[in-house]
Amino acid sequence: MVGRRIAIVVQGLVEKSDSIGYDAVFEWGLLSEMFGRDQVDIFCERFDANLHADVPVQPMGNFWVYVDQNPSATILYHYCDGWPAFDEYIMNAGREVVVRWHNNTPPWFYGASHRRSVERTVRGFRTIVNFAGNTHLRFWVNSNFTLDQLRAVGGRADTGAVIFPGSKFLESERDTVPVLQSDALAGEGKVRPLRLLFVSRVVAHKGHAHVIELAGYLKTALRRDLIVSFLGRDDPSSGLKGRLQRMAGDLGVEVRFEGEVSNEELHTAYLAADLFICLSEHEGFGMPVFEAMRLGVPVICLRRTALSELMQVHPFALDELDYVRAAAMVRLIDDEAVRARVLSIQASILRTYTRQVIMDQLAAALDGARGHWTGNAACPDANALEDAEIVRSRVNDEVRHGYWPEPGFEQIPREFGENYVTLYDVESYEAMLTSDHGLAGLPDQKSRDDFVSISHREFMSPNGKRLEEGITFAAQQAPGRIHLIYGPYARFPRGFFSVDFEIEAEQSGDPGVVLELEAAAEGEEPVASRAVTVVQIRSEGGLRLLFPVGLEHTIMEFRIGLKVSGNCNFLFRGVTIRNQRQSLAMLPDTPPPQPRRRLSWPKRVSRVVDTKVLSPVAMKHFRKGDSFRDRAWWNDAASAYEAGLCVEPNAFAYLVQLGNCSKEAGCLERSEAAFLKALALRPDDRDANLQIGRLYVLKGDRGAAHTHFLKAIGLERAAAEAMRELGKTGFALEALPDLFG
């Protein structure tokens, strides 16, 4: 095939375990082979040149020139749900674009634990819905299951084609059938622990909890120790890894979370495993299952979503989470004859997923083929079908006649069915996500509708009395960390807001009573607080606090405490929230002009600007230093930076890095020398002044620290007075950095 220009676009090529990024590179290789390397270009917004060193990745700046010069080229967009600017472009490009979609996780897997993930997956499905309604867009999906999912959200049957995803092991093994492992569990298997493996990101729908639960049952049923290894990166913000570790501890199962690993480490892990266990509840394809089979590892999997099609004849595929049946399969794998049959069946299944199969799918899609892929009958080999029946019969016998204890633990909730997300699901979750008092949709300050009112009914008061118009409470109790009013635990977007407390005080009450108003993120110290007297309450009415929200979806709480008690009663009506976006918009992105009057700084040195390209020798050392810094190997990082600075002694950025890493390593004198040399080159650089200020705090030199901190601020009189006033109005000055990301 010749004469066809294709532009592959992917947002990121920076993570070694990114399946979308790898698939883009894999398809670039196949399409280059089909049409010629000069006909296929690949563009990326963020990429690590060392990750795919042999791939000519181009920055997105080149893409816009390319599309102007090649109006008939096909754009192949590897979709990830975090690039709205490019999504908007292809929606309005008016030209042929193919969206490569690997499916999205249904939102219900995250609804109870990780709202940010819910929002991301709902946003991803909404974009696919919008794409599906655009006549210029076509889809390449990763399985028949994903094609059915596309149709469930409104995609037409004639817009999608199935193309299996690329695998690192598929590329390396080419089309050969793997050499099957013959060292089964016989002999040493009765002594050493059983080694179970699962490879996946640590996220809710991948079934890690089911694997741990199964391992707990196997330990009891088989009277055998086990080691469960999980490979794949974790999202610390979800807290899932911690919950899984506690669960494993309760069941007495040894679990190892290995994190993200290299290709070589992954290859070794597959070969070391006795069994690969995949109990995932949602798979667009199920790549690790095929990688395990390709390396000769017996697989037990849950026959759900895409795996229900691709593994339909595998005798160790479970139709439900039946731990007795799974335990029977594990016991049978010790039988050499059963093991050999299972590996033979897996080899037959693998013939449906090869490099040549994917090339055939690409060619068919480019020639206009649409709809389900029918060239991958799950097991066309008659001998393998017969073997599957024999193994399935052995499993049934083992279940009927074996000794199986009752599960001694409560089964955790799980999802049944094929997990198709519909338009109703998308609309329902969108409504849920936007129902938090309308805070995410607050317009700019000074708009006619720039506020959201939250009624007293959404607040709690242990000793207050609820009335129709508000909550009445008294100040005749001991002051301290007691909260008279607190709530409403509303989710806020990132930004800068004000809250007005609507409080009334009785006219004849004790004027010496003082209340404490607070705005706090759930479980955190207040980000803003203010003491108000009865006199202020009577005269001001709405009592305002300004507060920042540094992270999306932060749960905020507003509280009224008692600072000075007395004989006075109050009525709380609620709060009013306003957006202060315009205040943020006016903050300068560049340093303010130098003031006429300034503090006495150390003698100025003329600024030196780096204008030349750093030498390759120096950059080699600097890159090594960056690598060590990312690992937190501070001593090695500092040594590498020093080596590069011997070649390029005035490389300002790396002098600062040397100072930072030396500080982290506890080498304060070396750190100070590096920072001072950097400041000799750029005396007004704010970051360098900030960093050396922190160093002087560690050294106990408060005077020098203050000098450099003030210089980092670039302070002038008006700014100093504004900061003082911010503090007086209850704004927590330590929260200021949150406003700037």
CA-atom Rg of the chain in angstroms = 31
Domain count, the chain: 4
Both 133 and 42 in one domain: the answer is yes
Q: How confident is the model at residue 736 (pLDDT cuts 50, 70, 90)?
A: low
Both 259 and 386 in one domain: the answer is yes
Q: What is the domain range of residue 47?
A: 6-171
Both 332 and 284 in one domain: the answer is yes
Long-range contacts of 318-324 (CB under 8 A, 24+ apart): 318/279, 320/416, 321/210, 321/214, 321/279, 321/411, 321/414, 323/213, 323/214, 323/217, 323/218, 323/407, 324/221, 324/399, 324/404
Both 229 and 338 in one domain: the answer is yes
Q: Tell me if 691 is assigned to some domain.
A: yes
> Which of these three, 585, 601, 635, is where a domain ends?
585
Q: How do strand 471-474 and strand 569-579 relate by DSSP bridges?
A: antiparallel
Q: Tell me if 90 is assigned to some domain.
A: yes
CATH number at residue 244: 3.40.50.2000
pLDDT exceeding 90 applies to what percent of the chain? 43
- Mean predicted confidence (pLDDT) in 220-236: 89
What is the per-residue pLDDT across 280-310, written as a single tens digit (0 to 9) for each? 999 999 999 999 999 999 999 999 899 988 8
d(CA 215, CA 194): 10
* pLDDT of 477: 76
Report whether pLDDT(605) > 50: no
Both 151 and 219 in one domain: the answer is no
Helix (H, G, I), strand (E, B) or coil at 458: helix
Q: Tell me if 410 is assigned to some domain.
A: no
d(CA 348, CA 387): 11
Q: Tell me if 736 is assigned to some domain.
A: no
Report whether pLDDT(8) > 80: yes
What is the per-residue pLDDT across 144-169, written as a single tens digit (0 to 9) for each? 999 999 999 888 877 899 999 998 88
| Number of other CB atoms surrounding residue 637 within 10 Å | 25
User: Which of the two residues, 50 and 326, has the higher pLDDT score?
Assistant: 326
Answer yes or no: are the C-beta atoms of 553 and 592 closer than 8 Å: no
Both 204 and 336 in one domain: the answer is yes
What is the per-residue pLDDT across 357-389, written as a single tens digit (0 to 9) for each? 999 999 999 998 888 888 755 555 778 889 899
Distances in Å between the Cα of 90 and the Cα atoms of 20, 23, 75, 79 are 18, 20, 9, 11
Distances in Å between the Cα of 601 and the Cα atoms of 162, 598, 694 are 67, 8, 18
Both 258 and 395 in one domain: the answer is yes
Q: Tell me if 484 is assigned to some domain.
A: yes
* pLDDT of 392: 93
d(CA 645, CA 622): 8
* pLDDT of 593: 37
Q: Tell me if 179 is assigned to some domain.
A: no
What is the per-residue pLDDT across 444-462, written as a single tens digit (0 to 9) for each? 656 666 788 888 888 888 7
Answer yes or no: are the C-beta atoms of 549 and 493 closer than 8 Å: yes
Answer yes or no: are the C-beta atoms of 625 and 614 closer than 8 Å: no
Both 201 and 165 in one domain: the answer is no
Q: Tell me if 605 is assigned to some domain.
A: no
Both 165 and 24 in one domain: the answer is yes
Q: How confident is the model at residue 538 (pLDDT cuts 50, 70, 90)?
A: confident
> Which of these three, 386, 401, 416, is where a domain ends?
401
Query: How far is it between the farthest Cα atoms of the chain?
Result: 95
Structure-block tokens of residue 138: 């076509």
Both 164 and 26 in one domain: the answer is yes
Report whether pLDDT(731) > 80: no
pLDDT exceeding 70 applies to what percent of the chain? 83
Both 197 and 233 in one domain: the answer is yes
Amino acid at residue number 634: W
* pLDDT of 540: 72
- Cis before residue 315, ω within 30 degrees of 0? no
d(CA 493, CA 199): 34
Answer yes or no: are the C-beta atoms of 322 and 312 closer than 8 Å: no
Spatial neighbors of 370 by CB under 8 A, at least 6 apart, are 157, 158, 159, 160, 161
User: Which of the two residues, 646 and 407, has the higher pLDDT score?
Assistant: 646
Both 163 and 196 in one domain: the answer is no
- Mean predicted confidence (pLDDT) in 183-201: 71
Report whether pLDDT(588) > 60: no
* pLDDT of 180: 39
Smallest CA-to-CA distance from 269 within 211, 225, 228 is with 228
Report whether pLDDT(595) > 80: no
> Which of these three, 171, 194, 213, is where a domain ends?
171
* pLDDT of 136: 87
Q: Tell me if 202 is assigned to some domain.
A: yes
- Mean predicted confidence (pLDDT) in 692-705: 84
